[in-house]
Amino acid sequence: MTLATDKSPATQLAENGKTARNSGMIYCGAHYSLCPVEVRELWAKGFALNDGPTTLKQIVERQAGHATTEMVVITTCNRFDLCLFGHLQNIQLERIFIEFAEWTLAQFPNLQSALDTNRNWRHELRAWLRSMSDEHALQHLFRVGCSLDSLVLGEPHILGQLKNSFQNALTNGFCSQEATTVFNRTFQVAKRVRSETDLGKNAISIGHAAVEIIRRVFDNLNKQKCLILGAGEMARITTQHLRACGAENLTIANRTLSRSQKLAEQIEHSQALLLETALTRLHEFDIIIAATSAQGFIVHKKHLETLLKRRSGVPIVIVDISVPRNVDPELGKLKNLFLFDVDDLDKVMESSRQARRKAAQEAEEIISAEVSEFLSQRRQRENLINVGRFHSLVRNVVEAEIKKSLSKSQSLDESQITITANAVAKKLVAQTAQLARADVRIDSEQDTIGQALGLLFNLSQSENEES
């Protein structure tokens, strides 16, 4: 509400009442377009530890000053985001990210060297984080779910990642009613965008983007030997794109040979290999794509520095689509080796974004309408809650005053009825009179009747007294 006055007791009371009734939504995170990958992966590695989620939740609660903040962590190859339901200032959000990063560094001291190029990361963190609240946070979450904020516009896998993030939060007991309402609506909006626009048609994934960047070095993939490190969903998608672009010599390597074999059976011209063995034969391949869930480097400079001499100047292309990264960036210093990571993919996929602008604009319009409808429905619920509170207030005041009058006399004559009615009226208008004396103004264009009732009759305080 817009309150045109200084912090008088009445104004402070009104603001406190409003804060107590509403749970704010906050979306804050480290996005690929702002935050370096070596910093993003620091949080991702910490969160992947067994006690990482619980530690992060404890840090959030400590900064918020209470244990009622709901939390959903959205971690993908492009982002490490927190979706919170509570009340935190920007400085508290920054402290959360800093404290969790420092905790992760304590678990992985060797990661400090990865931050050498960002020695002032604690001071630069503010520029790397994006923070939104309330309506803007809701709209951003809808955009994330619809893949409008992804490295590859329209890529289809973010929705599944979002669902997994929400389910993990539920399983860990980190979220409840507020997050459930918002995330369920997010999934509905994403489904609507997919069905009503072309954004999801011929969708391009990170795996597709990886193949596109490889084709800038090798035009004809049927002559190259390809190695895919990993056998998960992203590895499967990338392998399918390689095959569709003509690759006819594919090797899939994983720590568990049976998983490699299972994926190889689904892809023509593919064979399986144990990851440990593949790492000793890296020099045999022209194209290497790293897509594992490992929490550190599995391909080091020492693996290829000597072996490259056997290739007689034939180049190798390595694309690391994992976060945390699987490939030591030091490999990029070797001759005849082209190394790309997820941040590099952003630079080569702008043309894909341009082709999807029209569908994206249609999706944005759907999202704006859905945000307005969601907020309207929420205001309606809040209005009805305040109407119910007002009804309880009137009933309680009338009942109390009648009982007081009847305690003095078994029957009420006209004068006693008048006295009782005046007492009821005086109590009902007491809050409104106090606000009037303080010259409090209500923004009629922004506030609902429910909010006006809550302010005029101090309904949150009345509810607390009743409870």
The verdict on 40 and 152 lying in the same domain is yes
Structural domain contains residue 215: yes
Instruction: Say how many residues make up the chain.
Output: 467
Phi and psi (nearest 5°) for 195?
-85, -25
Lowest mean pLDDT: which of 147-151, 181-185, 196-200, 343-347? Answer: 343-347
Q: Is the per-residue pLDDT at 14 higher than 80?
A: no
- The predicted model scores a pTM of 0.63
The verdict on 252 and 277 lying in the same domain is yes
Is 259 in contact with 231 (CB distance < 8 Å)? yes
Distance (Å, whole) CA 359 – CA 366 = 11
Distance (Å, whole) CA 269 – CA 221 = 13
Q: Is the per-residue pLDDT at 144 higher than 90?
A: yes
Would you state the structure tokens that stand for residue 392, as one six-digit string? 């309880």
**pLDDT at 228 (0 to 100):** 94
Comparing 456 with 180, which gets the higher pLDDT? 180
The verdict on 59 and 168 lying in the same domain is yes
Q: Which of 296, 327, 348 is the last residue of a domain?
A: 348
Distance (Å, whole) CA 248 – CA 67 = 55
3-state secondary structure of 71: strand
Distance (Å, whole) CA 82 – CA 133 = 12
**Average pLDDT along the chain:** 81
* Cross-strand pairs, 251: 227, 271
Distances (CA, A) of 167 to 74, 120, 154, 190: 11, 35, 23, 17
The verdict on 214 and 339 lying in the same domain is yes
Residue type, 5: T
Contacting residues for 350 by C-beta, under 8 A, at least 6 apart: none
**Which of 110, 446, 102, 442 shows the shortest CA–CA distance to 300?**
110
Q: How confident is the model at residue 174 (pLDDT cuts 50, 70, 90)?
A: very high
Over the stretch 366-376, which tens digit does the pLDDT of each residue have?
999 999 989 88
Read off the CATH number of the domain in which 248 is found.
3.40.50.720
Distances (CA, A) of 373 to 36, 130, 155, 439, 445: 36, 25, 26, 33, 17
Is 82 in contact with 28 (CB distance < 8 Å)? yes
Distance (Å, whole) CA 337 – CA 30 = 29
DSSP letter (8 states) at residue 217: T
The residue-averaged pLDDT of 191-220 equals 81
The verdict on 149 and 40 lying in the same domain is yes
| Half-sphere exposure of residue 247: CA atoms within 13 angstroms, side-chain side | 29
Out of 24-33, 139-148, 293-302, give the one with best mean pLDDT. Answer: 139-148
The verdict on 184 and 59 lying in the same domain is yes
**Which of 321, 359, 343, 350 shows the shortest CA–CA distance to 202?**
359
Q: Is the per-residue pLDDT at 340 higher than 80?
A: yes
Structural domain contains residue 196: yes
Contacting residues for 259 by C-beta, under 8 A, at least 6 apart: 231
Phi and psi (nearest 5°) for 131?
-125, 130
Read off the CATH number of the domain in which 137 is found.
3.30.460.30
**pLDDT at 217 (0 to 100):** 87
Helices (H) and strands (E) in the chain, counts: 19, 10
The residue-averaged pLDDT of 222-251 equals 89
Is the bond preceding 109 in cis, omega lying within 30 degrees of 0? Answer: no
The verdict on 211 and 79 lying in the same domain is no
Q: Which of 202, 225, 251 is the last residue of a domain?
A: 202
Is 30 in contact with 43 (CB distance < 8 Å)? yes
Structural domain contains residue 154: yes
Residue type, 80: F
The verdict on 98 and 212 lying in the same domain is no
Residue type, 118: N
Structural domain harbouring 210? 206-348
Q: Is the per-residue pLDDT at 230 higher than 60?
A: yes
Q: Which of 170, 202, 234 is the last residue of a domain?
A: 202
**Which of 233, 371, 218 shows the shortest CA–CA distance to 286?**
218
Lowest mean pLDDT: which of 111-125, 140-154, 310-324, 334-348? Answer: 111-125
Lowest mean pLDDT: which of 79-83, 260-264, 463-467? Answer: 463-467
Q: How confident is the model at residue 91 (pLDDT cuts 50, 70, 90)?
A: very high
**pLDDT at 243 (0 to 100):** 87
DSSP letter (8 states) at residue 327: B
The verdict on 36 and 164 lying in the same domain is yes
Tally of domains in the chain = 2
Structural domain contains residue 291: yes
The verdict on 110 and 233 lying in the same domain is no
Distance (Å, whole) CA 296 – CA 302 = 15
The verdict on 219 and 336 lying in the same domain is yes
Comparing 183 with 113, which gets the higher pLDDT? 183
Distance (Å, whole) CA 124 – CA 94 = 10
Q: Write down the catalytic residue from 77, 83, 146, 175.
A: 77
Is 342 in contact with 213 (CB distance < 8 Å)? no
The verdict on 242 and 125 lying in the same domain is no
3-state secondary structure of 289: strand
Residue type, 288: I
**pLDDT at 23 (0 to 100):** 46
Structural domain contains residue 279: yes
Comparing 363 with 401, which gets the higher pLDDT? 363
The residue-averaged pLDDT of 189-194 equals 93
Structural domain contains residue 423: no
Distance (Å, whole) CA 305 – CA 339 = 14
Structural domain contains residue 440: no
77 is catalytic: yes
Over the stretch 315-328, which tens digit does the pLDDT of each residue have?
899 999 888 889 99
Structural domain contains residue 443: no
The residue-averaged pLDDT of 119-136 equals 86
Distance (Å, whole) CA 404 – CA 354 = 74
Q: Is 308 exposed, middle or buried (0-12, 13-18, 19+ CB in 10 A)?
A: buried
